[in-house]
Amino acid sequence: MMNSCFLEKLSKPALTVLVPALILCSCGRPVDMERAKDEAEEPLLTESFDKCDFSQGWNGSFVRSELYPRGTGPFASFAGHGCVLHQYIPDNSNETTSAQAGVEGSAAFAQITGMPFVDEFYIEWQEYFPEDHDFADGSQKMMRFTYYEPGEEDGSEINLTTQNENTNIQLFLYHPRGSDGEAIDLFVNTGIAIPTGRWVTFAVWAKLNSPGENDGFARAYMDGVEIAALEDISNRGWDTRGWNIMWVGGNHTNDSETTQASSRYLDNIRWYAAKPDVDLLAREQ
């Protein structure tokens, strides 16, 4: 079903950045609102690993090639998908991230979004966990948006993970200092497992609260169905900073070392300013 292809040297194809067009009206001509709406719903950044490589613009992506055994590598070929990202978890390991796709830093965010950080995002991607995947007895991270600048206090963080040997998909939010000075620690335990042996579409839509207000939210989806939601929340307190780091992938955290090697596969990452009317799964059917 799949063949591994290993590339040590990463080439950089053209930047895959799509910026929503401005809606203008001139010379008395009517604006095509449907077209403008479609353009506004284009993704900010996409990644499909079509060249068995990371696309330019994904400056936070990396591969730890020393973790892959001879004959395999960070990209694999799947029927119907072409090249996909292959995350390999060796046996006798812990806190392992062999490959990850991401964007890091205010400069990179400004190039993509026009702002050094964002207060809202919608991201969707696809994952394939083989039926024999050794899920972490701790946490297998899948997605994170957060804030970090050297010398500054950490900012808001949001994660989607599967926990306890894939018995609980969890949506988790954290900020070191809330409106009352105490840390913000919000989560939803779904009790839902990730289906194995097939591609699964995940998505997260989140918005930070207006400083000092309780008008933020976070929602998670699997195969187009909402599985977790936190509504009318304060997810950054009085902080005015947004998110300036994002990634899909994440480490495999066990309470002890793994007992067997495992693989997971990622594809079709799409990052939007907000949730579009039609999701990835519906577009591809």
Report the distance separating Cα 272 and Cα 41, nearest Å.
7
pTM above 0.95, yes or no: no
Structurally, the chain folds into a number of domains equal to 1
Q: What is the dihedral of CA 39, 80, 142, 140, to 10 degrees?
A: 170
Residues 6+ apart with CB under 8 A from 253: 94, 95, 136, 138, 139, 140, 141
* Interval 94-107: pLDDT, tens: 878 999 999 999 99
Residue type, 29: R
223: containing domain:
103-260+267-284
Residue 86 inside a domain? The answer is: no
Residue 66 inside a domain? The answer is: no
* Interval 56-83: pLDDT, tens: 999 999 999 999 999 999 999 999 999 9
Rama region for 28: left / alpha / beta (φ>0; ψ in -120 to 50; rest)? left
* Interval 216-234: pLDDT, tens: 999 999 999 999 999 999 9
Report the distance separating Cα 263 and Cα 114, nearest Å.
36
Residues 6+ apart with CB under 8 A from 48: 82, 83, 267, 268, 269
Residue 216 inside a domain? The answer is: yes
| Res 96: pLDDT | 84
Rama region for 282: left / alpha / beta (φ>0; ψ in -120 to 50; rest)? alpha
CATH number reported for the structural domain that contains residue 249 in this entry: 2.60.120.200
